Structure 1
Amino acid sequence: MTATLPYVGFIVEGLIVTVSATLAGFIGAILIGAALSTLISGSNKLRNLVASGYVTVFRALPELLFVLVVYYGLDIAMRALSARIGIATLDISPFVAVTIALAVQFGAYCAEIFRDARSAIPRGLIEAGEAIGLSETKVGARIVLPLMFVNATPALGNLFLVILKVSALASVIGLEEVTRRAKVVAGSTREPFAAFAVAAICFLIVTAIATLAQHQLERRTRFGRGAA
Protein backbone atom coordinates (compact mmCIF):
# COMPACT_ATOMS: atom_id res chain seq x y z
CA MET A 1 0.00 0.00 0.00
CA THR A 2 2.80 2.42 0.90
CA ALA A 3 4.37 2.05 -2.56
CA THR A 4 1.13 3.28 -4.18
CA LEU A 5 0.76 6.46 -2.10
CA PRO A 6 3.22 8.57 -4.14
CA TYR A 7 1.22 7.75 -7.29
CA VAL A 8 -2.23 8.67 -5.96
CA GLY A 9 -2.05 12.10 -7.61
CA PHE A 10 -1.08 10.50 -10.92
CA ILE A 11 -4.18 8.28 -10.81
CA VAL A 12 -6.51 11.09 -9.71
CA GLU A 13 -5.33 13.31 -12.58
CA GLY A 14 -6.89 10.74 -14.91
CA LEU A 15 -10.29 11.95 -13.68
CA ILE A 16 -9.97 14.98 -15.96
CA VAL A 17 -9.83 12.71 -19.00
CA THR A 18 -12.53 10.37 -17.65
CA VAL A 19 -15.01 13.15 -16.89
CA SER A 20 -14.22 14.98 -20.14
CA ALA A 21 -14.83 11.87 -22.24
CA THR A 22 -18.01 11.11 -20.30
CA LEU A 23 -19.42 14.63 -20.71
CA ALA A 24 -18.55 14.80 -24.41
CA GLY A 25 -20.07 11.39 -25.07
CA PHE A 26 -23.15 12.22 -22.98
CA ILE A 27 -23.81 15.51 -24.81
CA GLY A 28 -23.34 13.77 -28.16
CA ALA A 29 -25.71 11.00 -27.10
CA ILE A 30 -28.37 13.55 -26.11
CA LEU A 31 -28.15 15.31 -29.47
CA ILE A 32 -28.32 12.04 -31.41
CA GLY A 33 -31.09 10.68 -29.20
CA ALA A 34 -33.21 13.82 -29.56
CA ALA A 35 -32.90 13.67 -33.34
CA LEU A 36 -33.71 9.96 -33.45
CA SER A 37 -36.74 10.31 -31.17
CA THR A 38 -38.09 13.02 -33.48
CA LEU A 39 -37.71 10.71 -36.49
CA ILE A 40 -39.27 7.76 -34.66
CA SER A 41 -42.24 9.86 -33.56
CA GLY A 42 -42.71 11.37 -37.02
CA SER A 43 -45.12 10.27 -39.72
CA ASN A 44 -42.48 9.46 -42.37
CA LYS A 45 -42.33 5.66 -42.42
CA LEU A 46 -38.90 5.44 -44.07
CA ARG A 47 -37.27 7.77 -41.54
CA ASN A 48 -39.08 5.95 -38.77
CA LEU A 49 -37.73 2.62 -40.01
CA VAL A 50 -34.15 3.92 -40.33
CA ALA A 51 -34.20 5.46 -36.85
CA SER A 52 -35.72 2.33 -35.31
CA GLY A 53 -33.09 0.19 -37.05
CA TYR A 54 -30.34 2.43 -35.65
CA VAL A 55 -31.68 2.03 -32.13
CA THR A 56 -32.00 -1.75 -32.47
CA VAL A 57 -28.49 -2.24 -33.86
CA PHE A 58 -26.56 -0.04 -31.45
CA ARG A 59 -28.42 -1.24 -28.37
CA ALA A 60 -27.43 -4.79 -29.29
CA LEU A 61 -23.67 -4.19 -29.70
CA PRO A 62 -21.33 -4.72 -26.71
CA GLU A 63 -19.72 -1.44 -25.65
CA LEU A 64 -16.14 -2.77 -25.69
CA LEU A 65 -16.56 -4.22 -29.16
CA PHE A 66 -17.91 -0.95 -30.53
CA VAL A 67 -15.10 1.10 -28.97
CA LEU A 68 -12.58 -1.15 -30.73
CA VAL A 69 -14.49 -1.01 -34.03
CA VAL A 70 -14.62 2.80 -33.95
CA TYR A 71 -10.96 3.20 -32.96
CA TYR A 72 -9.50 0.82 -35.53
CA GLY A 73 -12.08 1.70 -38.16
CA LEU A 74 -11.28 5.41 -37.90
CA ASP A 75 -7.58 4.59 -37.97
CA ILE A 76 -7.99 2.73 -41.27
CA ALA A 77 -10.13 5.54 -42.68
CA MET A 78 -7.62 8.23 -41.67
CA ARG A 79 -4.73 6.30 -43.22
CA ALA A 80 -6.64 5.83 -46.45
CA LEU A 81 -7.55 9.52 -46.54
CA SER A 82 -3.95 10.55 -45.88
CA ALA A 83 -2.68 8.34 -48.70
CA ARG A 84 -5.36 9.60 -51.06
CA ILE A 85 -4.61 13.30 -50.62
CA GLY A 86 -0.86 12.75 -50.29
CA ILE A 87 -0.15 14.00 -46.77
CA ALA A 88 1.48 12.52 -43.68
CA THR A 89 -0.52 9.79 -41.96
CA LEU A 90 -3.16 11.22 -39.65
CA ASP A 91 -3.43 9.45 -36.30
CA ILE A 92 -6.76 9.01 -34.56
CA SER A 93 -6.85 10.16 -30.95
CA PRO A 94 -8.14 7.58 -28.43
CA PHE A 95 -10.12 10.40 -26.80
CA VAL A 96 -11.89 11.26 -30.06
CA ALA A 97 -12.55 7.58 -30.78
CA VAL A 98 -14.10 6.82 -27.39
CA THR A 99 -16.16 10.03 -27.47
CA ILE A 100 -17.61 9.12 -30.86
CA ALA A 101 -18.26 5.55 -29.74
CA LEU A 102 -20.07 6.64 -26.58
CA ALA A 103 -22.15 9.27 -28.38
CA VAL A 104 -23.18 6.99 -31.24
CA GLN A 105 -23.99 3.95 -29.11
CA PHE A 106 -25.70 5.68 -26.20
CA GLY A 107 -27.58 7.94 -28.59
CA ALA A 108 -29.71 4.83 -29.23
CA TYR A 109 -30.55 4.58 -25.52
CA CYS A 110 -31.27 8.32 -25.39
CA ALA A 111 -33.71 7.93 -28.28
CA GLU A 112 -35.77 5.46 -26.25
CA ILE A 113 -35.63 7.71 -23.19
CA PHE A 114 -36.82 10.72 -25.17
CA ARG A 115 -39.54 8.74 -26.92
CA ASP A 116 -40.98 7.64 -23.58
CA ALA A 117 -40.60 11.17 -22.19
CA ARG A 118 -42.40 12.61 -25.22
CA SER A 119 -45.27 10.14 -24.92
CA ALA A 120 -45.74 11.16 -21.27
CA ILE A 121 -46.58 14.76 -22.24
CA PRO A 122 -50.35 15.34 -21.92
CA ARG A 123 -51.87 15.73 -25.36
CA GLY A 124 -54.00 18.58 -24.02
CA LEU A 125 -50.95 20.81 -23.57
CA ILE A 126 -50.01 20.41 -27.20
CA GLU A 127 -53.58 21.05 -28.33
CA ALA A 128 -53.70 24.15 -26.11
CA GLY A 129 -50.60 25.50 -27.83
CA GLU A 130 -52.12 24.87 -31.22
CA ALA A 131 -55.38 26.47 -30.11
CA ILE A 132 -53.71 29.80 -29.28
CA GLY A 133 -52.14 29.91 -32.72
CA LEU A 134 -48.65 28.52 -32.15
CA SER A 135 -47.08 26.89 -35.18
CA GLU A 136 -45.93 23.27 -35.07
CA THR A 137 -42.32 24.45 -34.71
CA LYS A 138 -43.16 26.75 -31.78
CA VAL A 139 -45.23 24.06 -30.09
CA GLY A 140 -42.25 21.74 -30.32
CA ALA A 141 -39.76 24.35 -29.08
CA ARG A 142 -41.86 25.89 -26.30
CA ILE A 143 -43.93 22.95 -25.06
CA VAL A 144 -42.73 19.56 -26.26
CA LEU A 145 -38.94 19.91 -25.88
CA PRO A 146 -38.92 21.54 -22.39
CA LEU A 147 -41.41 19.01 -20.99
CA MET A 148 -39.63 16.13 -22.72
CA PHE A 149 -36.34 17.02 -21.04
CA VAL A 150 -38.09 17.43 -17.69
CA ASN A 151 -39.66 13.98 -17.99
CA ALA A 152 -36.36 12.49 -19.13
CA THR A 153 -34.24 13.95 -16.30
CA PRO A 154 -34.18 10.85 -14.03
CA ALA A 155 -33.38 8.46 -16.87
CA LEU A 156 -30.73 10.79 -18.33
CA GLY A 157 -29.06 11.03 -14.92
CA ASN A 158 -28.86 7.25 -14.76
CA LEU A 159 -27.53 7.10 -18.32
CA PHE A 160 -24.76 9.57 -17.43
CA LEU A 161 -23.61 7.23 -14.68
CA VAL A 162 -23.64 4.29 -17.09
CA ILE A 163 -21.53 6.23 -19.60
CA LEU A 164 -19.14 7.20 -16.80
CA LYS A 165 -18.55 3.55 -15.97
CA VAL A 166 -18.33 2.46 -19.59
CA SER A 167 -15.71 5.15 -20.25
CA ALA A 168 -13.25 2.92 -18.37
CA LEU A 169 -13.23 0.69 -21.46
CA ALA A 170 -11.21 3.43 -23.18
CA SER A 171 -8.18 2.07 -21.33
CA VAL A 172 -7.99 -0.78 -23.86
CA ILE A 173 -7.14 1.69 -26.65
CA GLY A 174 -4.58 3.56 -24.58
CA LEU A 175 -6.58 6.54 -23.29
CA GLU A 176 -4.86 7.87 -20.15
CA GLU A 177 -7.98 7.87 -17.96
CA VAL A 178 -8.31 6.69 -14.35
CA THR A 179 -8.40 2.95 -15.03
CA ARG A 180 -5.46 3.06 -17.42
CA ARG A 181 -3.34 5.02 -14.96
CA ALA A 182 -4.28 2.67 -12.14
CA LYS A 183 -3.15 -0.25 -14.28
CA VAL A 184 0.20 1.44 -14.96
CA VAL A 185 0.71 2.10 -11.25
CA ALA A 186 -0.28 -1.46 -10.37
CA GLY A 187 2.31 -2.83 -12.76
CA SER A 188 5.01 -0.53 -11.40
CA THR A 189 4.36 -1.00 -7.68
CA ARG A 190 3.11 -4.60 -7.72
CA GLU A 191 0.20 -3.41 -5.58
CA PRO A 192 -2.83 -3.87 -7.86
CA PHE A 193 -5.38 -3.80 -5.04
CA ALA A 194 -4.23 -0.41 -3.77
CA ALA A 195 -3.99 1.13 -7.24
CA PHE A 196 -7.43 -0.03 -8.36
CA ALA A 197 -8.93 0.88 -4.98
CA VAL A 198 -7.84 4.48 -5.60
CA ALA A 199 -9.45 4.34 -9.04
CA ALA A 200 -12.66 2.94 -7.51
CA ILE A 201 -12.77 5.79 -4.98
CA CYS A 202 -12.38 8.29 -7.84
CA PHE A 203 -15.40 6.81 -9.62
CA LEU A 204 -17.42 6.77 -6.38
CA ILE A 205 -16.72 10.47 -5.77
CA VAL A 206 -17.75 11.49 -9.29
CA THR A 207 -20.85 9.30 -9.06
CA ALA A 208 -21.84 10.87 -5.73
CA ILE A 209 -21.48 14.38 -7.18
CA ALA A 210 -23.45 13.48 -10.30
CA THR A 211 -26.20 11.85 -8.24
CA LEU A 212 -26.49 14.91 -6.00
CA ALA A 213 -26.71 17.18 -9.05
CA GLN A 214 -29.40 14.93 -10.55
CA HIS A 215 -31.49 15.04 -7.37
CA GLN A 216 -31.22 18.83 -7.23
CA LEU A 217 -32.32 19.12 -10.85
CA GLU A 218 -35.24 16.76 -10.30
CA ARG A 219 -36.34 18.75 -7.25
CA ARG A 220 -36.30 21.99 -9.23
CA THR A 221 -38.27 20.55 -12.14
CA ARG A 222 -40.85 19.00 -9.79
CA PHE A 223 -41.23 22.35 -8.08
CA GLY A 224 -41.75 24.08 -11.40
CA ARG A 225 -44.46 21.65 -12.43
CA GLY A 226 -46.14 21.88 -9.04
CA ALA A 227 -46.17 25.66 -9.22
CA ALA A 228 -47.77 25.56 -12.63
Structure 2
Amino acid sequence: MLATIPFLGYIVEGLTVTVGATLVGFLGAMLIGAALSTLVSGSTKLPTLVANGYVTVFRALPELLFVFVVYYGLDIAMRALSARIGITPLEISPFVAVTIALAVQFGAYCAEIFRDARTAIPIGLIEAGEAIGLSEARVRTRIVLPLMFINATPALGNIFLVILKVSALASVIGLEEVTRRAKVVAGATREPFGAFAVAAICFLIVTAIATAVQHYIERRTHFGRGLA
Protein backbone atom coordinates (compact mmCIF):
# COMPACT_ATOMS: atom_id res chain seq x y z
CA MET A 1 0.00 0.00 0.00
CA LEU A 2 2.84 2.41 0.85
CA ALA A 3 4.37 1.94 -2.59
CA THR A 4 1.20 3.32 -4.16
CA ILE A 5 1.34 6.65 -2.30
CA PRO A 6 3.91 8.32 -4.62
CA PHE A 7 1.60 7.57 -7.56
CA LEU A 8 -1.58 9.05 -6.04
CA GLY A 9 -1.38 12.17 -8.18
CA TYR A 10 -0.91 10.13 -11.33
CA ILE A 11 -4.01 8.05 -10.63
CA VAL A 12 -6.17 10.98 -9.54
CA GLU A 13 -5.25 12.97 -12.67
CA GLY A 14 -7.09 10.30 -14.62
CA LEU A 15 -10.31 11.63 -13.09
CA THR A 16 -10.29 14.54 -15.55
CA VAL A 17 -10.48 12.06 -18.43
CA THR A 18 -13.07 9.88 -16.68
CA VAL A 19 -15.34 12.79 -15.80
CA GLY A 20 -14.82 14.40 -19.20
CA ALA A 21 -15.79 11.23 -21.08
CA THR A 22 -18.78 10.75 -18.78
CA LEU A 23 -20.07 14.30 -19.23
CA VAL A 24 -19.65 14.34 -23.01
CA GLY A 25 -21.22 10.90 -23.35
CA PHE A 26 -24.09 11.84 -21.04
CA LEU A 27 -24.87 15.09 -22.86
CA GLY A 28 -24.76 13.28 -26.19
CA ALA A 29 -27.05 10.56 -24.86
CA MET A 30 -29.56 13.16 -23.66
CA LEU A 31 -29.62 14.89 -27.05
CA ILE A 32 -30.08 11.61 -28.90
CA GLY A 33 -32.68 10.44 -26.39
CA ALA A 34 -34.68 13.67 -26.64
CA ALA A 35 -34.70 13.43 -30.44
CA LEU A 36 -35.68 9.76 -30.40
CA SER A 37 -38.45 10.30 -27.86
CA THR A 38 -39.99 12.85 -30.20
CA LEU A 39 -39.97 10.31 -33.03
CA VAL A 40 -41.27 7.49 -30.84
CA SER A 41 -44.13 9.67 -29.59
CA GLY A 42 -44.97 10.91 -33.08
CA SER A 43 -47.82 9.76 -35.30
CA THR A 44 -45.73 9.05 -38.42
CA LYS A 45 -45.18 5.31 -38.77
CA LEU A 46 -41.74 5.05 -40.44
CA PRO A 47 -39.80 7.38 -38.06
CA THR A 48 -41.48 5.66 -35.12
CA LEU A 49 -40.41 2.23 -36.37
CA VAL A 50 -36.85 3.45 -36.93
CA ALA A 51 -36.68 4.99 -33.44
CA ASN A 52 -38.11 1.87 -31.81
CA GLY A 53 -35.63 -0.29 -33.73
CA TYR A 54 -32.75 1.92 -32.57
CA VAL A 55 -33.86 1.66 -28.95
CA THR A 56 -34.27 -2.12 -29.16
CA VAL A 57 -30.88 -2.74 -30.80
CA PHE A 58 -28.73 -0.52 -28.62
CA ARG A 59 -30.35 -1.56 -25.36
CA ALA A 60 -29.50 -5.17 -26.24
CA LEU A 61 -25.79 -4.70 -27.02
CA PRO A 62 -23.17 -5.17 -24.26
CA GLU A 63 -21.34 -1.92 -23.54
CA LEU A 64 -17.84 -3.40 -23.91
CA LEU A 65 -18.71 -4.96 -27.26
CA PHE A 66 -20.06 -1.69 -28.59
CA VAL A 67 -16.95 0.22 -27.46
CA PHE A 68 -14.87 -2.20 -29.55
CA VAL A 69 -17.25 -1.88 -32.52
CA VAL A 70 -17.09 1.92 -32.49
CA TYR A 71 -13.33 2.13 -31.92
CA TYR A 72 -12.28 -0.37 -34.58
CA GLY A 73 -15.16 0.50 -36.90
CA LEU A 74 -14.20 4.18 -36.92
CA ASP A 75 -10.57 3.23 -37.49
CA ILE A 76 -11.51 1.18 -40.56
CA ALA A 77 -13.79 3.93 -41.86
CA MET A 78 -11.16 6.65 -41.41
CA ARG A 79 -8.49 4.57 -43.13
CA ALA A 80 -10.80 3.91 -46.07
CA LEU A 81 -11.71 7.60 -46.31
CA SER A 82 -8.07 8.67 -46.08
CA ALA A 83 -7.09 6.24 -48.84
CA ARG A 84 -9.92 7.50 -51.06
CA ILE A 85 -8.96 11.18 -50.77
CA GLY A 86 -5.22 10.48 -50.71
CA ILE A 87 -4.16 11.72 -47.28
CA THR A 88 -2.30 10.20 -44.35
CA PRO A 89 -4.63 7.94 -42.34
CA LEU A 90 -6.09 9.69 -39.32
CA GLU A 91 -5.86 7.96 -35.95
CA ILE A 92 -9.01 7.59 -33.88
CA SER A 93 -8.71 8.97 -30.37
CA PRO A 94 -9.87 6.51 -27.67
CA PHE A 95 -11.62 9.47 -25.99
CA VAL A 96 -13.64 10.26 -29.11
CA ALA A 97 -14.49 6.59 -29.64
CA VAL A 98 -15.71 5.98 -26.09
CA THR A 99 -17.77 9.19 -25.92
CA ILE A 100 -19.47 8.32 -29.21
CA ALA A 101 -20.14 4.78 -27.98
CA LEU A 102 -21.59 6.02 -24.69
CA ALA A 103 -23.74 8.67 -26.36
CA VAL A 104 -25.13 6.36 -29.02
CA GLN A 105 -25.82 3.43 -26.71
CA PHE A 106 -27.21 5.30 -23.73
CA GLY A 107 -29.23 7.54 -26.03
CA ALA A 108 -31.52 4.53 -26.35
CA TYR A 109 -32.06 4.44 -22.59
CA CYS A 110 -32.59 8.20 -22.45
CA ALA A 111 -35.21 7.91 -25.20
CA GLU A 112 -37.28 5.60 -23.00
CA ILE A 113 -36.81 7.91 -20.02
CA PHE A 114 -37.93 10.97 -21.96
CA ARG A 115 -40.87 9.13 -23.47
CA ASP A 116 -42.14 8.13 -20.02
CA ALA A 117 -41.47 11.64 -18.71
CA ARG A 118 -43.41 13.13 -21.60
CA THR A 119 -46.43 10.90 -21.07
CA ALA A 120 -46.46 11.89 -17.37
CA ILE A 121 -47.25 15.50 -18.28
CA PRO A 122 -50.97 16.18 -17.70
CA ILE A 123 -52.68 16.86 -21.01
CA GLY A 124 -54.52 19.70 -19.30
CA LEU A 125 -51.34 21.75 -19.06
CA ILE A 126 -50.76 21.46 -22.79
CA GLU A 127 -54.39 22.32 -23.52
CA ALA A 128 -54.13 25.31 -21.18
CA GLY A 129 -51.14 26.61 -23.12
CA GLU A 130 -53.01 26.24 -26.38
CA ALA A 131 -56.06 27.92 -24.86
CA ILE A 132 -54.15 31.09 -24.01
CA GLY A 133 -52.89 31.36 -27.57
CA LEU A 134 -49.42 29.77 -27.41
CA SER A 135 -48.19 28.32 -30.68
CA GLU A 136 -47.29 24.64 -30.92
CA ALA A 137 -43.59 25.51 -30.79
CA ARG A 138 -44.02 27.62 -27.64
CA VAL A 139 -46.12 24.97 -25.96
CA ARG A 140 -43.31 22.52 -26.64
CA THR A 141 -40.49 24.80 -25.43
CA ARG A 142 -42.26 26.45 -22.48
CA ILE A 143 -44.40 23.61 -21.15
CA VAL A 144 -43.53 20.19 -22.56
CA LEU A 145 -39.72 20.28 -22.56
CA PRO A 146 -39.26 21.87 -19.09
CA LEU A 147 -41.70 19.46 -17.44
CA MET A 148 -40.27 16.52 -19.37
CA PHE A 149 -36.76 17.23 -18.08
CA ILE A 150 -38.09 17.76 -14.54
CA ASN A 151 -39.90 14.43 -14.60
CA ALA A 152 -36.82 12.73 -16.03
CA THR A 153 -34.33 14.13 -13.48
CA PRO A 154 -34.20 11.09 -11.12
CA ALA A 155 -33.79 8.60 -13.96
CA LEU A 156 -31.24 10.78 -15.77
CA GLY A 157 -29.22 10.97 -12.57
CA ASN A 158 -29.10 7.19 -12.47
CA ILE A 159 -28.06 7.06 -16.14
CA PHE A 160 -25.21 9.48 -15.41
CA LEU A 161 -23.91 7.19 -12.67
CA VAL A 162 -24.15 4.16 -14.95
CA ILE A 163 -22.21 5.99 -17.69
CA LEU A 164 -19.61 6.98 -15.10
CA LYS A 165 -19.04 3.34 -14.20
CA VAL A 166 -19.16 2.10 -17.79
CA SER A 167 -16.55 4.71 -18.79
CA ALA A 168 -14.00 2.47 -17.05
CA LEU A 169 -14.36 0.13 -20.03
CA ALA A 170 -12.46 2.73 -22.05
CA SER A 171 -9.28 1.40 -20.48
CA VAL A 172 -9.44 -1.60 -22.83
CA ILE A 173 -8.81 0.66 -25.84
CA GLY A 174 -6.01 2.58 -24.15
CA LEU A 175 -7.77 5.64 -22.75
CA GLU A 176 -5.72 7.02 -19.84
CA GLU A 177 -8.56 7.26 -17.34
CA VAL A 178 -8.57 6.31 -13.66
CA THR A 179 -8.85 2.55 -14.10
CA ARG A 180 -6.14 2.41 -16.76
CA ARG A 181 -3.76 4.45 -14.63
CA ALA A 182 -4.47 2.31 -11.58
CA LYS A 183 -3.61 -0.77 -13.63
CA VAL A 184 -0.32 0.80 -14.71
CA VAL A 185 0.55 1.66 -11.11
CA ALA A 186 -0.45 -1.81 -9.95
CA GLY A 187 1.94 -3.34 -12.45
CA ALA A 188 4.77 -1.02 -11.49
CA THR A 189 4.43 -1.37 -7.71
CA ARG A 190 3.10 -4.94 -7.60
CA GLU A 191 0.48 -3.66 -5.14
CA PRO A 192 -2.78 -3.99 -7.09
CA PHE A 193 -4.96 -3.60 -4.00
CA GLY A 194 -3.59 -0.14 -3.15
CA ALA A 195 -3.79 1.15 -6.73
CA PHE A 196 -7.31 -0.08 -7.38
CA ALA A 197 -8.46 1.06 -3.93
CA VAL A 198 -7.42 4.60 -4.87
CA ALA A 199 -9.33 4.27 -8.16
CA ALA A 200 -12.40 3.04 -6.25
CA ILE A 201 -12.22 6.02 -3.90
CA CYS A 202 -12.06 8.35 -6.91
CA PHE A 203 -15.25 6.85 -8.32
CA LEU A 204 -16.95 7.05 -4.92
CA ILE A 205 -16.11 10.75 -4.61
CA VAL A 206 -17.46 11.58 -8.06
CA THR A 207 -20.57 9.50 -7.39
CA ALA A 208 -21.16 11.31 -4.09
CA ILE A 209 -20.87 14.71 -5.79
CA ALA A 210 -23.15 13.68 -8.67
CA THR A 211 -25.74 12.30 -6.22
CA ALA A 212 -25.67 15.54 -4.20
CA VAL A 213 -26.20 17.59 -7.37
CA GLN A 214 -29.06 15.31 -8.42
CA HIS A 215 -30.78 15.67 -5.03
CA TYR A 216 -30.32 19.45 -5.19
CA ILE A 217 -31.96 19.61 -8.62
CA GLU A 218 -34.79 17.37 -7.43
CA ARG A 219 -35.45 19.62 -4.44
CA ARG A 220 -35.41 22.72 -6.62
CA THR A 221 -37.88 21.18 -9.07
CA HIS A 222 -40.12 19.49 -6.52
CA PHE A 223 -42.93 21.94 -7.24
CA GLY A 224 -42.73 21.19 -10.97
CA ARG A 225 -42.82 17.46 -10.38
CA GLY A 226 -45.82 17.89 -8.14
CA LEU A 227 -47.63 19.53 -11.02
CA ALA A 228 -46.61 16.76 -13.35
TM-score over 0.5 (shorter chain): yes
Q: 1:213/1:79 Cα in 2 relative to 1: closer, same or farther (>3 Å)? A: same
- For 2:161, the equivalent position in structure 1 comes to 161
Gaps of 5+ in 1: none
- The Cα offsets for residues 84-107 of structure 1, whole Å up to 9 and x where unpaired, read as 111111000000000000000000
- For 2:74, the equivalent position in structure 1 comes to 74
Instruction: Give the drift of 1:227.
Output: 9.4
The 3-state SS of whatever aligns with 1:215 is: helix
The 3-state SS of whatever aligns with 1:59 is: helix
The 3-state SS of whatever aligns with 1:42 is: coil
TM-score w.r.t. length of structure 1: 0.98
For residues 185 and 143 of structure 2, what CA distance do their matches in structure 1 show? 51
Q: 1:227/1:68 Cα in 2 relative to 1: closer, same or farther (>3 Å)? A: closer
- The Cα offsets for residues 52-77 of structure 1, whole Å up to 9 and x where unpaired, read as 00000000000000000000000000
- For 1:131, the equivalent position in structure 2 comes to 131
- For 2:181, the equivalent position in structure 1 comes to 181
For residues 7 and 105 of structure 2, what CA distance do their matches in structure 1 show? 34
- For 1:7, the equivalent position in structure 2 comes to 7
- For 2:36, the equivalent position in structure 1 comes to 36
The 3-state SS of whatever aligns with 2:221 is: helix
Gaps of 5+ in 2: none
- For 1:194, the equivalent position in structure 2 comes to 194
For residues 96 and 73 of structure 1, what CA distance do their matches in structure 2 show? 13
Instruction: Give the drift of 1:223.
Output: 3.9
Count of aligned positions: 228
Amino acid at match of 2:91: D
TM-score w.r.t. length of structure 2: 0.98
| RMSD (Å) for aligned C-alpha atoms | 1.2
- The Cα offsets for residues 114-159 of structure 1, whole Å up to 9 and x where unpaired, read as 0000000000000111111111111111100000000000000010
- For 1:101, the equivalent position in structure 2 comes to 101
Q: Which aligned segments of 4 or more residues in structure 1 are displaced greater than 6 angstroms?
A: none
Amino acid at match of 2:5: L
The 3-state SS of whatever aligns with 1:3 is: helix
